[in-house]
Amino acid sequence: MKKILKIKNLKKTFFEKTRELLGNDSGLKNSQKNEYVDLYEKYMRKVSKETTIKSAFHLPMKILEKGQYHITTGEIDVESLKEESKKYGTTIGKYLLSVYFKILLDRYSQAKNPIVIGVPVDLRKIFEETTYRNFFINIIPSMDASLGAYSLSEIITYLDNYFALKITKKNFTKVYTRQ
């Protein structure tokens, strides 16, 4: 019983200190109450499942052993990145995703399967939840290299439209059905 009280007191202290540091309007108002709410259970219902891609292009790399990872790092001036993405009328995230698609499409132009990149989307913003728990989904834009070369602006237009279609409450309900 004492351990439970200590844990509750620690949680209370954590949230109080967080509110002190970030202020009351930081979106944490209901986080303590909602900490253990199953948001998937709350929002998802049975509807027809989304169709999936049957096969996708895989990078021709050796699979590493468990616990080993390829890490690529780099630095870029955020102001020039903002400026460049603004030229195309898109966000920094979509601009970087477009550049990544462009590089893959140019390098693997002979790929027989579509090039697919998983993009995580924070569902807490869409469903207006303030919990600390993870509540996300991956959307999977794909591009077919066999259709020919793509310009960066074509890729950005595709991604802008794809995101607009896929990032909706109704679509996420369809994707996250529980059968």
Segments forming the whole domain that contains residue 55: 36-175
Q: How many domains does the chain have?
A: 1
Is there a contact between 130 and 34 (Cβ–Cβ < 8 Å)? yes
Confidence grade of residue 168 (pLDDT, cut at 50, 70, 90): confident
Distance CA 57, CA 5 (A): 52
Q: What is the model's pTM?
A: 0.64
Q: Please indicate, yes or no, if residue 54 is contained in any of the structural domains.
A: yes
Closest to 169 measured CA to CA, from 127, 137, 130, 108:
127
Q: Please indicate, yes or no, if residue 152 is contained in any of the structural domains.
A: yes
Distance CA 51, CA 73 (A): 34
Q: Which residues of 2-25 are buried (b: 16+ CB within 10 A; e: fewer)?
A: eeeeeeeeeeeeeeeeebeeeeee
Q: Please indicate, yes or no, if residue 127 is contained in any of the structural domains.
A: yes
**Rounded CA Rg of the chain:** 21
pLDDT of res. 52: 64
> For 102-111, what is the mean pLDDT?
93
Q: Please indicate, yes or no, if residue 28 is contained in any of the structural domains.
A: no
Q: Please indicate, yes or no, if residue 18 is contained in any of the structural domains.
A: no
pLDDT of res. 8: 47
pLDDT at 19 over 70: no
Confidence grade of residue 13 (pLDDT, cut at 50, 70, 90): low
Q: Please indicate, yes or no, if residue 10 is contained in any of the structural domains.
A: no
pLDDT of res. 27: 46
The residue that leads in pLDDT, 21 or 106, is 106
Is there a contact between 41 and 35 (Cβ–Cβ < 8 Å)? no
Q: Please indicate, yes or no, if residue 107 is contained in any of the structural domains.
A: yes
Q: Please indicate, yes or no, if residue 117 is contained in any of the structural domains.
A: yes
